[in-house]
Amino acid sequence: MIVKIKVTPRASKNEIVGKMADGTVKIKLKAPPVGGKANEELIKFLAEEFGVEKGCVKIIRGKTGRKKTVEII
């Protein structure tokens, strides 16, 4: 499954906010966007939400931006 995501770092808690008009999923993360911490937190969060291992979640595009494309196997 391929999912487009818009991440908001430094939130008060990790949560899925909802879908945007173009189908992009908005997610808030507690981690700061420094040193890949937000990406690690996103992978961990999505793995828990979808009930898969962290190795099954891969960021395909957008590793340095807020808009990301993620593959979940």
pLDDT digits (tens, 9 = 90+) for 2-61: 999 999 999 999 999 999 999 999 999 999 999 999 999 999 999 999 999 999 999 999
Distance of alpha carbon 11 from alpha carbon 51, whole angstroms: 23
User: What pLDDT does 41 receive?
Assistant: 96
Give the pairing of strands 15-19 and 2-8.
unpaired
Distance of alpha carbon 18 from alpha carbon 44, whole angstroms: 18
Looking at the DSSP assignment, which residues form a beta bridge with residue 2? 71
Ranges of H-type helices in the chain: 37-50
Distance of alpha carbon 20 from alpha carbon 11, whole angstroms: 18
